[in-house]
Amino acid sequence: MAREKTKDPNELAVDVKLKNLFALQTKLSAIDANKMLRGELPLEVQDLEDGIEGLTTRVGKCLEQSEVLNDEINKRNGSVEKNKLDLARYQEQLKNIRSNREYDSLTKEIEFLQLDNQLHEKKIREAKESLEQLQEKIRNCNTELSERRADLDLKKNELDEIIADTRSQEEKLREEAKNIELTIDTRLLSAFKRIRKNARNGLGIVCVQRDACGGCFNKIPPQRQLDVRMHKKIIVCEYCGRILIDPELAGVKVDALSTDDKSKKRRTTTRKKKEE
């Protein structure tokens, strides 16, 4: 027996399209509910990871600056030692001078080397102070890093446990949702996804309940409600843009009274009051 050809989603009746769309919404809402179980944990994990990355970068820069300062200190210490050797040599030469010109020349060299050493020593002190500040900053960053990494491990473990508990169910729901999407025409599916993306509660199709939109709860005119019940075309809420579906078609029980029932009840209540 030949296999029955799958019907083109574009050729389906409006009521079938609405049923398929509502079935898709049901699956997606169940997936959203699983995500809600995770709460703010994914965002908290992301924030901690970003914070750790920022602190790690800051520590790296501080270490680079520390290396530069250490190199500068070592170079200046080397210059100081060289100047001291030259000073000792010039001091020794002063003992054997033969003219005033030679004395003046040696004296100027000695004075220059002493001033140069004073400058090097001043720069070394400044570099050491900066180095101490950097080391303090590195210690603080490392302490904060340890705390954040400990928090991240706890949050990740908690998140992994929640994901592990709902993974199989969520994968099944996603597979079912993907299969339902194949039964919905492309344009309607795109419109539904766009509506869902803009909706705060993730609802792209809702039932008419208590004469109002099940998404934004604005009242729907009776004629528009009738159009929804007729299933002849896709009707959207004029306030929020969500697709509307008749609860009976969606298989949803509605306890609320319809407009006609309300009118009848109101008339009955008025009649009773008059009789009393």
Asked if residues 155 and 46 have their Cβ atoms less than 8 Å apart, the reply is no
Residues 152, 205, single domain; the answer is no
Residues 47, 65, single domain; the answer is yes
Residues 236, 162, single domain; the answer is no
Residues 173, 43, single domain; the answer is yes
**pLDDT in single tens digits along all 276 residues of the chain:** 333 445 777 788 999 999 999 999 999 998 888 877 777 788 889 999 999 999 999 999 999 999 999 999 999 999 999 999 999 999 888 888 888 888 899 999 999 999 999 999 999 999 999 999 999 999 999 999 999 999 999 999 988 887 887 788 888 999 999 999 999 999 999 999 999 998 888 999 999 999 999 999 999 999 999 999 999 999 999 999 999 999 999 888 765 444 444 445 555 555 555 555
Looking at residue 74, what is its pLDDT?
96
Looking at residue 11, what is its pLDDT?
81
Q: What is the DSSP-derived secondary structure letter of residue 244?
A: E
Domain tally, the chain: 2
Residues 54, 126, single domain; the answer is yes
Q: Specify if 78 maps to a domain.
A: yes
Q: What is the pTM of this model?
A: 0.54
Q: Specify if 252 maps to a domain.
A: yes
Supply angle C-alpha 115, 121, 126, rounded to 5.
130
Listed residue (187, 273, 147, 207) closest to 22, CA to CA: 207
Q: Residue 196 is which amino acid?
A: R
Enumerate residues 6+ apart whose C-beta is below 8 A from 258. Answer: 211
Residues 77, 143, single domain; the answer is yes
Which domain-ending residue is among 179, 209, 236? 179
- CA-to-CA distance for 71 and 50, rounded, in angstroms? 32
Q: Specify if 206 maps to a domain.
A: yes
192-210 exposure pattern, b = at least 16 Cβ within 10 A, e = fewer:
beebbeebeebbbbbbbbb
Looking at residue 38, what is its pLDDT?
76
Looking at residue 2, what is its pLDDT?
39
Residues 169, 200, single domain; the answer is no
Both tokens of residue 82?
A: 């060289």
The CATH code of the domain that includes 78 is: 1.10.287.1700
Asked if residues 127 and 73 have their Cβ atoms less than 8 Å apart, the reply is yes
Longest dimension (CA), the chain: 142
- CA-to-CA distance for 73 and 80, rounded, in angstroms? 10
- CA-to-CA distance for 20 and 41, rounded, in angstroms? 33
Q: Specify if 79 maps to a domain.
A: yes
Residues 260, 143, single domain; the answer is no
Residues 190, 174, single domain; the answer is no
Q: Specify if 10 maps to a domain.
A: no
Residues 162, 194, single domain; the answer is no
Which domain-ending residue is among 159, 179, 199? 179
Residues 189, 161, single domain; the answer is no
Looking at residue 255, what is its pLDDT?
58
Q: Specify if 193 maps to a domain.
A: yes
Looking at residue 1, what is its pLDDT?
34
The CATH code of the domain that includes 225 is: 1.10.287.1490
Residues 104, 167, single domain; the answer is yes
Q: Specify if 2 maps to a domain.
A: no
Which domain-ending residue is among 179, 212, 246? 179
Q: Specify if 62 maps to a domain.
A: yes
- CA-to-CA distance for 66 and 58, rounded, in angstroms? 12
* Residue-level length of the chain: 276
The domain of 195 spans: 185-275
